[in-house]
Amino acid sequence: MVRIINYKKRVAENKEFFVLEVSGGIEMVLSKTTGMYYATSKKATITSTFDEETCKSLIGSEFPGSIVKEECEPYEYTIQDTGEIITLSHRYIYRAEELTTSKVYSAPGNLSMAD
């Protein structure tokens, strides 16, 4: 399951649209620096056709799927806390569960089927 935690406005080809920011479950990761575990979760964005009000109303909604690591062309990334610039060759994307039929859910956080 993933949860919608935020939305962001983007512009491409002079058109505004919104992406939904989704988060996977909590994961415990061992720090290479300190040897201590810390809690984190993977995040990804999903392009949407929703307006801003709809995006706001969807925050907190959960739906089937997961956040997975995908290899990509190398790119530079700036670590906000330190200003350090690193090169990454992966990104995290949303992957839907294999569904044989579409499912429509009735409300944010409610996994019962809509009428």
- Tens of pLDDT, residue by residue over 14-37, are 999 999 999 998 999 998 889 999
pLDDT tens digits for range 36-89: 999 999 999 999 999 999 999 999 999 999 999 999 999 999 988 899 999 999
Structure confidence at residue 40 (pLDDT): 93
Contact at 8 Å (CB) between 96 and 66?
no
Q: Range of 87's domain?
A: 2-98
Give the C-alpha separation, 65 to 33, whole Å. 31
What pairing do the DSSP bridges indicate for beta strands 43-47 and 37-40? unpaired
pTM score over 0.85: no
Q: Is residue 81 part of a domain?
A: yes
Q: What is the mean pLDDT of the chain?
A: 89
Res 93: pLDDT: 95
Of the candidates 20, 68, 88, which has an alpha carbon nearest to the alpha carbon of residue 48?
Answer: 20
Q: Which amino acid is at 8?
A: K
pLDDT at residue 100 above 50? no
Q: How far apart are CA 63 and CA 6, in angstroms?
A: 14
Residue 83 lies in a domain: yes
Count: domains in the chain:
1
**CA–CA separation, 65 vs 1, rounded Å?**
5
113 pLDDT band, cuts 50/70/90, is: low
Answer whether residue 60 is part of any domain: yes
113 domain residue, yes or no: no
The answer to whether residue 54 is domain-embedded is yes
Residue 88 resides in a domain: yes
Does some domain include residue 8? yes
Phi-psi group of 25: left, alpha or beta (phi > 0 → left; psi -120 to 50 → alpha; rest → beta): beta
- H runs (alpha helix) in 36-83: 52-58
Is residue 63 domain-resident? yes
% residues pLDDT > 70 (the chain): 85
